[in-house]
Structure 1
Amino acid sequence: MPSHRLFQLPKPQWLNSANMRTSGVYLSGALFALGLFFFVDAAAYSHSPKNGSDVHIKFIDWIPGICSTLGMLVVNSIDKTRLTGDDGFSYSGNGVAWKAKLVLFLGFALMAGGLAGSVTVMVLKYVVPDYPFPTLYFGVANVIANGLIMLSSVVLWISQNMEDDYTYNLAL
């Protein structure tokens, strides 16, 4: 009987422990907080008198972070068990797997759009006009923040969907 595994290497057993799950959730929160810190730091510095520049962080700089955060919420609200189990396409209530995959795709698209948007804002607003580095930091911090939010989402997705010995699936 062929195996349905993607890779031939076995998964280490320590990955399934409750401590690893908890550590992953805390690491995800730390990555999200660090990303948010970078962006808020850049936003606060852009409006301080020590900035020495006429360039400030405006709403256009916030849009990629909002997209990435919404994508993180969408991706991590989907249960991994909902992604498998359907044999056909049904547009009514029983075709859950393809709907979950569609919503998961939209969540990842929001996060990818947020990261791409932050790179676009950095290039068009800070790199093309050739601002020096204290001002260029506003765009770099935006890219770092969106990258950390995306990494946080991946870590949270993996750690929430780890199976351990203490997880029970009850169905009626």
Structure 2
Amino acid sequence: MEYQNNLFKFNLSNLHLPKSARLRSFGIYLSGALFSIGFWSLIDASIYSKTVNASDVHVTFIDWIPLICSGLGMLIVNSIEKHNLMNNNLDGQQAGMFGDQGNYVWAARVILFLGFSLLAGGLAGSFMVLILKYLMNHYTFPTLSMGVANVVCNGCVMLSCIVLWLSQNIEDEYSYSLAL
């Protein structure tokens, strides 16, 4: 292994990858950035509410429930591959616990729908926490920022999930099917 005199740990010579590989790599990094921005916005609001916040309102478990729903939805959505949703003919493969290949595709679609429902429920739940806990009680903006951080958190997690799923399921330009 040659020693390279690089300033950064990451090698930037992989910029000569095919267009789809670069797009996939960019999407995965963007998804990670969105997830970390969202997660740390809620962590920051939690730390603010326990240390600096002068009011009686604090981030409690109720504020974390939408993030838990969004995280479970992200896990479910990114567990499903795109070819399982579109592939009605599995080329003689076993269809798993469902026995029928049509049921296999149908079950993958239902599970994907449940994952997106959890993501949407997490985002809607964060809006409900913002409205019911912060806006209905007429809190001003230093306290209101904890509710806004919850909405930002779940919105970023939802966008992160969508970007990750799309970037992982990008077809390579050079990939081809050997099916007859």
SS of the equivalent of 1:47 reads helix
What are the superposed Cα offsets for residues 55-93 of structure 1, whole Å, 9 maximum, x if unpaired?
000000000000001101100110100002338xxx832
Moved over 2 A (4+): 91-95, 165-171
Aligned counterpart, 1:4: none
Aligned-CA RMSD value: 2.1
Does residue 1:92 correspond to 2:98, yes or no?
yes
The separation in 2 between residues aligned to 1:78 and 1:170, in whole angstroms, is 22
Unaligned residue ranges in structure 2 (runs of 5+): 1-17, 90-96
The separation in 1 between residues aligned to 2:38 and 2:121, in whole angstroms, is 16
Query: TM-score when scaled to structure 2?
Result: 0.80
Does residue 1:27 correspond to 2:30, yes or no?
yes
Q: Which amino acid aligns with 1:74?
A: I
Between the two proteins, what is the percent identity of the paired residues? 57
Offset at 1:168?
6.2
Distance 1:77 1:16, change over 3 A: farther
Query: TM-score when scaled to structure 1?
Result: 0.83
Unaligned residue ranges in structure 1 (runs of 5+): 1-14
1:152 to 160, 163, 168: 160
Does residue 1:120 correspond to 2:128, yes or no?
yes
Quick check: 1:64–1:114 contact (8 Å CA) kept in 2? yes
Aligned counterpart, 1:67: 69
The separation in 1 between residues aligned to 2:143 and 2:167, in whole angstroms, is 37
Distance 1:29 1:168, change over 3 A: farther
Offset at 1:96?
1.2
Does residue 1:141 correspond to 2:149, yes or no?
yes
Does residue 1:76 correspond to 2:82, yes or no?
no
Does residue 1:37 correspond to 2:40, yes or no?
yes
Aligned counterpart, 2:53: 51
The separation in 1 between residues aligned to 2:131 and 2:175, in whole angstroms, is 46
What are the superposed Cα offsets for residues 120-159 of structure 1, whole Å, 9 maximum, x if unpaired?
0110000000011010011000000000000001100110
SS of the equivalent of 1:164 reads coil
Quick check: 1:29–1:152 contact (8 Å CA) kept in 2? yes
Aligned length: 154
Structure (1 or 2) with the larger CA radius of gyration: 2
